Structure formats: structure tokens, C-alpha cells
A and B are shown apart, each in its own frame.
Chain A
Amino acid sequence: MKTFPLGGVHPSDNKKWSCAKPVEVLELPDVVNIPLGQHIGAPATAKVAKGDKVLTGQLIAEATGFMSANIHSPISGTVTAVDMQLNGQGLRQMMITIKREGDEWMPEIDRSAEIKRECNLDSAAIIAKIKDAGIVGMGGATFPTHVKLSIPNGCKAEYLIINGVECEPYLTSDHRTMLERGEELLIGVEILKKALNVEKAIIGIENNKPDAIAHLRKLIAEKQFAVTVEPLKVQYPQGGEKQLIAAVTGREVPPPPGLPIHVGAVVCNASTSVAIYEAVQKNKPLIERVVTITGKSLKEPRNLLTRMGTPVAKLVEMAGGLPEGDVKVVNGGPMMGRAMVNLDSPVTKGCSGVTVLSGKEANRVEAETCIKCAKCVSACPMGLEPYLISKMSKKQMWDGVESERITDCIECGCCQYTCPAGLPLLDYIRLGKQTVMGIIRARAAANAPKK
């Protein structure tokens, strides 16, 4: 079975808590907060002001420049504020607050359940529709999809890879999407193939989801889609973009600023593919997504179709409330997610799940001394030396950190997971990466006018 060539760890996947729970529609929230920056790139520019009436699916914030994404209203009602609000990290962020009045949709959105396969649009029109719908990568990285689909000059896409790996422990939103909306997903793949003008489309799925693999294969055979399904070894971070490309095509993406397109690959998340189907065929912008609310200690883990902007507290309530004792609520999964301090913060486009860890799981082990066992080196899927980078970063040796290729780091957390001394390796690596990226940007800015 295919897998990526270097490193990786095997955390217990803990998907059993929610993988058999069909997606339920979460009741509409009364008030939503929509952050203007919920994608990589420049935050969107608000197009509504306090007091404006909006419909579900109406554009409320427009992309600022190329690397940005549109944002649409997930409910209908009145805008009550465009102001700074607390996000999940407790920091202030510009958000649009909308108070719900009924649920009235924009007229051009097709809400019927009918599946529409035929698509007569050309590549540019498809990408324009995706851009209008504000679609971003829904696996967590929130990279604007229209940017990904705009192939730079001199590059040619050969492979379209659909990321159905969902290697992050606990989360099951992509799994449920593949099972329940397989046909829409496959039509989305067809649309993407057309947009990119590629022949080969491969759906990579980790082998712990045999039902999804069988279901998609059956659909492909029945409805004659030109797509293959590739089962992949259960190993974290199989769903990392570079790891997935290596596993499926055997090609290695060059270090930054190298992009997947430089080896002829475009990777798109499974849920994003469904969103693309909805945007192109049904004119529906990205206003809702499947969010897994899960955790060992929760009364009822669930997969919920949630409108953007719904407070996370609402999801927790639906799952039976927080357990007693030490609790850590993570936006995302336990490996790459971020712990939250404010549960009133909204669900955003990149939020595939909310994991509630309690008791022993919620606490870190006490850090001891590094004994240079090099477990982190063997675990690093990017072939870096995490113990060294982490230490240099702690000592603020930014030149050394840069020459150790810290910008290659995908922040998967394998090093910290595997460290027997419980060292906060990734904490310092993230600090180093942020600082070095800043230094690189400053250097580029300083060098630019000389040309």
C-alpha cells in the first residue's frame, strides 16, 4: 500500500466515536459572527454596514486582492455590528455580526436535492464561479481555491489529487462527506478536472475508511466517472499536501517557494470538492460545512452540518456539554488543531472539527531534558532535525534556524508527539518559523527596490 517515504507517526485514530454518526443539520444559530479573515491571505473587505438586511448566501465581504476570498452571509437577517470580536484564541479580530430573521435564501441559489452532473462551462468560467463562491481549502489550511486553480505560466497540471485522507485523529467530517455525498464529490472532481484540464484524477483515502473507499469505487463503476481511488497506509501526516503527492505520484515537491504545481500536482480536499460542486452547479457559496464534534468524554459525539459563524459553544451543547475536570477544547484535531479559550468564537471555513480532550489527554507531560535520542528526526516527514531547530529557535539563532530549512516545516507535530522527554519542540519551531518568515519577507522587501 502506498505511503509517503519519510517519517510519520501512528497516533491512535480515535475515529470510532463519531465515524458511524450520519451528518445531522444543526439548527440555525440566532446570531452569527463572521470573521473577515478566515482564509490564508488578506482579510476580506466588508461590504455591509450596521443595519443592513442580508439574505442567506449574500456577499457580505469581498476578496481584497488576489490572495483572498469572498465571504457570504450564512443566515438571513440584519447586520448588527461590524466590529472587533474575540476569536477562539481570545484575540480581537474584525467580524460581521448578523442577527437571524427567518432563513431566506438568495433567489439564484438552487436548493433542490436534484443532482446535476452536466457542466457546460469552460475552465475560466468555472474558476470565476469558485472565486465568487469564496471557496477555500476546507481541510484546515484555508488556501483560496481559485488561486490554487490558476496555474502559473510555464506549469502544467498532470494530476488532480483529492485529499480524502483525513489523517488527523478524531475527525470524521470528510469521511462522512465521502460516504453521504459521494456523487456530488465525484461531480466536483469532474468539474475540477475540466477547470485544470487534467486527465488523471486520484482520490487518496487512508485505509482506515474501507467503507468510503468501497462506496466511491462502487459509484465510479456505476456512474462511469474517470477517477481512481487510491487506498493509502494509515500513517500521520498522510494527508499533508506534500506527503500525499509523494504517496500518490512518487514526486517530491521542491522546498519553498516550490509549489505542488511545480511537480504537476494540484491537491484539493474532499469536502472542498463537494463545495465546488455546489458553487458551480447550484450557485451556492461556501456558507456551511460539516463539523465533527468529538471526544472520548463527550456524551454524544456528532457530525453536524453547521452554518459558518455558529458559536462553537452550540456544537459543544449539542454533544452533551463539556465534561467535568480538566478540559481542552481544540479547534481541529489533536495533532494540528489549536486550543481555544473562547467557546463563543465562530465556526469558520477551515474548521473541520472540534475535539474535546479531558483529564490526562488535556494535559501535557512534564518536559524533561533532551537526550538526543533522535526519535523526532526519524518521525519528521520533511527530513528536518526538530530537536536542533527547536533549540536554536529557543536561543534565537535565526540564521542557523533558516539554514536548517525551517521554512520546510509543515507543523504537523510528529516531533512533539514522538518526543519521549515531552519537550515542547513544535512550540519553539513555530516561533522560529514565524520569525524566519518575517526575516525573509523583510529581506525581500529590502531587496526589491534595487532591481
Chain B
Amino acid sequence: MTVLLSTIATLSVLGILAAVILYFVAQKFKVEEDPRIDEVETMLPGANCGGCGFAGCRAMAEAMVKQDDISALYCPVGGAECMKSMATYLGKVAPEKEPTVATVRCGGVCSKRPRTNEYAGAKSCAVASPLYVGETACAYGCLGYGDCVEACQFDAIKVNPETGIAEVDADKCTACGACVKACPKKIIELRKKWPKNRAVYVSCVSKDKGAVTMKACKAGCIGCGKCAKVCAFEAITVEGGVAYIDSQKCKLCRKCVNECPTGAIALVGLAPLPKEPKVAPAAKPAAEKTAEPKAEAVKNESVNEQK
């Protein structure tokens, strides 16, 4: 009996002692955490995708609360609405950012870009890319082994087995940028998101000379520069043998689409302009001079279309 009593007594004393020590230690090492962090975290989408540049939503919430100027922070998944609600809660100014969408800039579908060999190695773009040119003769195009698909947490990108090219579901895409980082060929770009997922972009990144590109892929950009000449908004630049449309400057006027000899400029969600009977090429310089007012007209048109 005495053994039992002494055991109970010892353990109780030990327990009380430990509790007292723990209490003081807890007081000493108490971490003051802003309760707003928890609040902000609940407002974030909770995808933990890393699209904001932080390790997860919690880290983003901490940064949102701690930084006075949150103009550099942005949650691509939550978008403007989410940012606005958080900013109002914190009494800060929400950064304004246009919504963007991941765009796969390769149009080398199987029918346009013939397969020259068969790849038997590990099905990963990161493995195949430094190894060799790929299953076609184009060293720049989409390999189609789906590193981007694996990187996407929103099920927004898929490799179409018929075309062999990754395709983005613009409605699901949150523009977190994970696929942009995963693509070893640097084909995927975050571009301005227009209403109804409309888009005009150069669907090729091949820096090869025109003749070489043509040989490898019939849908490649040959860098002829016709699109840049016809663009009224100076949105198109041709550098290193490939045209690029700046999505911030582009107004979706679609003139370039008709001009492209290889069909490398992709048009999404819009009907192409009717092919107007061509004026003699000699009239071109004059047309350029009158580009200004024309540009305005087209601008209004596209704005109307948006509405």
C-alpha cells in the first residue's frame, strides 16, 4: 500500500512541477502571431501552388500582413477579387493585375510536323530535351511528354494524343506559372486573358532560319516579318527568326493572322477576318502612313466586341 501511495505522490509532484516549468517556459518563448494571418489565409484559395512565389498560402498570408506595400504580391489563382477582399480587410491598396492565361506556343501538330524517329527513353521532357532534338526535326517544338501536365495542380493542361501537343483549358488555368517553369523548351507563356478566352499569338518559338523551320514543320514561323508590317499597334516584333506578339499591346485586330504565310499565328475564340481582295503591294507604304487613324478605328471595334 505504501508503495502505491508513494508512487502516486511522486508522480503527482513531478506532474505539478513539470506543469509549472512548462507554464513559465511557454510564457518566456511565446510567439506573438498576428491573428490576421489566419484570417487572410482563409481568404486565399488554399491551393498551395506556389504561383505567388511563396512556399504556400500561409507564407503568402504572412507576407500580405507584414508588408506595408503589397503591390508586388499577387495570387494568380484567387485573382483580382481575392486580392481586393484581402486588401480591404487589411486596409491596404490591392495591386491591379490583368488576368493572364498559360499559352502553349507550338502549332506543330502531327500532320504539320512529321515524326522522324521514335523516342524510347523516359517519358519526360526534361530528360529528352537535353538528350536530342526530339521525335521531329524541330528542336524548339513541344515534345509532348507532359512535364507541364504533371506540374499543373488544376488539371488545366493536357497533352492531346492526336496532335501530340499540350493544350491549356483556359477556364481551369489559374496562371500560377508552374507549367511555364516545367517546360524545358520554354514554349509556355503567361499571356493576357481576354474575355471568352479569345487570343491571338504566334504559335511557334523556332529560332531556326526560315528554310530550316519549313523543312521541319509546316506550321512554323519563318520570321518573314509580314505580320509585324501589318500590325498597327507595334505589338509584333521579329527577333532571332521568330515573330512575337506582345499580348499587352495586341488588340486582337487579327490582321496578322491573314498575313501569315504558314498559318503560325493562332486565333482562338474569334472568326478570322474575311480575306479582302488584296490591294497592289505598291500601295503598302501609303497604308503605313495612314496607320494611326486606322488603328483607332480597330481599337474601338475590339472594345465594342468585348462588351
Q: How far is the CA of A90 from the CA of B135 in the complex (A)?
A: 10
Residues in B with CB closer than 8 Å to A338 are 131-132
Known: A341-B133, A430-B127, A431-B130. A92 touches B122 (CB 8 A): no
Q: Does B306 contact A (CB under 8 A)?
A: no
Q: Which of B91-99, B113-121, B188-196, B218-226 contacts A (4 or more CB under 8 A)?
A: B113-121
Q: Is the CB of B127 within 8 A of A428?
A: yes
What's the least CB distance linking A361 to chain B, in Å? Answer: 12
B137 interfacial contact with A, CB 8 Å: yes
Contacts A/B (CB < 8 Å), 11 sampled: A91-B133, A91-B139, A338-B131, A341-B132, A341-B133, A363-B120, A364-B121, A394-B124, A430-B131, A431-B127, A431-B130
Contacts of B116 in A (CB 8 A): 90, 341
B126–A431 CB distance below 8 A: yes
At the interface, is chain A mostly helix, strand, loop or mixed?
mixed
Q: Are A90 and B127 in contact (CB under 8 A)?
A: no
Q: What 1/0 mask marks residues of chain A from 344 to 373 whose CB sits below 8 Å from any chain B CB? A: 000000000000000000011000000000
Closest CB of chain B to A389's CB: distance in Å?
A: 14
- Once the chains bind, are B137 and A427 in contact (CB under 8 Å)? no
Q: Hey, what's the 0/1 contact readout for A36-62 against B, CB within 8 Å counting as 1?
A: 000000000000000000000000000
Q: Which of A49-91 contact B (CB under 8 A)?
A: 86, 89-91
| B139–A427 CB distance below 8 A | no
- Among residues 149 to 163 in chain B, which have CB atoms less than 8 Å away from a CB atom of chain A? none
A430, B122: Cα distance in complex, Å: 11
Q: Determine the residue in chain B with the shortest Cβ distance to A86.
A: B133
Cross-interface CB contact of A427 among B122, B133, B134, cutoff 8 Å: B122
Contact A428–B139 (Cβ < 8 Å): no
A237 in contact (CB, < 8 A): no
Within the complex, the shortest CB–CB distance from A343 to chain B, in Å, comes to: 11
Given A89-B133, A428-B127, A430-B127, also A364-B117 (CB < 8 A): no
Residue of A nearest to B132 (CB): A89
Separation of A339 and B128 alpha carbons in the complex (Å): 12
Complex contacts, B208 vs chain A, CB 8 Å: 92
Q: Tell yes or no: A424 within 8 A of B by CB.
A: yes
Q: Which has the most chain A C-beta neighbours within 10 Å: B130, B133, B134?
A: B133
- Cβ A90 vs Cβ B132 within 8 A: yes
Q: Closest approach, in angstroms, between the C-beta of B58 and any C-beta of chain A?
A: 22
3 closest A-B pairs by beta carbon, nearest first, are A90-B133, A427-B122, A424-B122
CA distance A363 to B116 in the complex (A): 16
Give the number of chain A interface residues (Cβ < 8 Å): 17
Give Cα A339–Cα B132 distance, bound, in whole angstroms.
Answer: 9
Residues from chain B with Cβ under 8 Å of A434 in the complex: 130
Q: List residues of B (72-128) whose CB comes within 8 Å of A's CBs.
A: 116-117, 120-122, 124, 126-127
Q: Which residue of A lies closest to B138 (CB)?
A: A90
Most chain B beta carbons < 10 A, residue from A92, A394, A424, A431: A431
- A428 touching B117, Cβ below 8 Å: no
**Interface residue from A90, A424, A431 paired with B139 (Cβ < 8 Å):** A90
> Given the interface contacts A90-B139, A92-B139, does A428 sit within 8 Å of B133 by beta carbon?
no
**Chain B 217-259: CB-based contact to A (< 8 A → 1; otherwise 0):** 0000000000000000000000000000000000000000000
Complex Cα–Cα for A424 and B121 (A): 7
B124 touches A90 (CB 8 A): no
* Chain B: minimal CB distance from A396 (Å): 8
- Bound CA–CA A427/B132 (angstroms): 12
Report the separation of the CA atoms of residues A206 and B299 in the bound assembly, to the nearest whole angstrom: 76
Distance A99 CA – B166 CA, assembled complex (angstroms): 43
Cα distance, A21 to B89, chains bound together (Å): 83
**9 additional A-B residue pairs with CB within 8 Å, beyond A427-B131, A428-B127:** A89-B131, A90-B134, A90-B137, A90-B139, A364-B120, A364-B121, A424-B121, A430-B131, A431-B127
Cα distance A430–B124 when bound, in Å?
12
User: Please, which residues of chain B bring their CB within 8 A of the CB of A90?
Assistant: 116, 132-134, 137, 139
CB-CB contacts below 8 Å: A409-451 with B: 424, 427-428, 430-431, 434
Q: Which residue of A lies closest to B118 (CB)?
A: A326
